[in-house]
Amino acid sequence: MNDITKEQLIDRIVREVMYRIGRQDETEPYAKGAVVLMTSHVPGCREAVRMIEELCGADTEYIGFGGAGFPEGPYPKVSDAELIGPEAVSERVHLKEKVILLAPKLVLLEQIAQGSDEGLPAYLMIRSLLWGKDVSALLDFEPPRFKRNTFFERVVSAIETLEDVGIGISTYRCVQGPEEGMLALVTERDVVSAAAQGRGRIRKTAAALVTPAAKDAARELGIVIDG
């Protein structure tokens, strides 16, 4: 082997080693943070955002589909999926550790449960499962109890299927209920009961309905109806 051949061989070996070292350094970026997919109107925005911040922290991105987003106010920025483009949206989701579907329509839940990836949101949810991400759906309602031969049967079945394939199901309160001890409806029976217990006051919510008989009984028995 002459000197020229040796130099060429050494050069090839060096280039091959450098190439392999470079390939070892080409690792995928570490997935971190969360992305929230918004596909429809979100009732109770404030409570939804509060819960997401508790679950995911500040490193959370929101992406809206079909014009979905938050109303004006102190809410996080929502990126428009149509402006970003499907490939860029997929890449953003791919780089996140957690993927949350926020207040989806029931038809979308059924679609995902059936394994259909038609449409970008469904595609991203199913892909995220295959990518091994922490995937969940944050619902604005408590899953209904099983109701055979009714519409609710389909809802329950879809939610159970989603949980079976690894999609976590969480809920948030989009409607604030009355405070403890406050009545949303005041009837004559409530007034009589308060008088019998020695209570001179009944607390009600601001929008509570007070029946005419309850008002008459309150006047006769000296019961004050607050609210």
Residue-wise pLDDT tens digits, 69-94: 999 888 999 999 999 999 999 999 99
pLDDT at site 9: 62
Q: Which of 171, 200, 215 is the last residue of a domain?
A: 171
- Calculate mean pLDDT across residues 112-134: 95
Whether 19 is covered by a domain: the verdict is no
Residues 40 and 139 in one domain: yes
pTM: 0.67
Residue 33 tokens read as 């943070």
d(CA 61, CA 96): 9
For residue 102, report the phi and psi dihedrals to the nearest 5 degrees.
-100, 125
Instruction: Kindly report the average pLDDT of the chain as a whole number.
Output: 85
pLDDT at site 14: 61
pLDDT at site 187: 87
Supply the range of the domain harboring residue 47: 34-171
Whether 125 is covered by a domain: the verdict is yes
Whether 55 is covered by a domain: the verdict is yes
Residues 82 and 112 in one domain: yes
Q: Is the pLDDT of residue 27 over 60?
A: no
CATH code of 113's domain = 3.40.50.1950
Bridge partners, 34 (sequence order): 60, 98
Whether 24 is covered by a domain: the verdict is no
Whether 18 is covered by a domain: the verdict is no
Whether 165 is covered by a domain: the verdict is yes
Residues 88 and 159 in one domain: yes
- Of 32-46, 60-74, 151-165, 198-212, which gets the smallest average pLDDT? 198-212
Whether 205 is covered by a domain: the verdict is yes
Q: How far is CA 200 from CA 173, 181, 188, in A?
A: 32, 14, 14
Residues 160 and 194 in one domain: no
The percentage of the chain sitting over the pLDDT mark of 70, rounded to a whole number, equals: 83
pLDDT at site 153: 87
How many domains in the chain? 2
Whether 50 is covered by a domain: the verdict is yes
Phi-psi region of 28 (alpha: psi -120 to 50; beta: other; left: phi over 0): beta
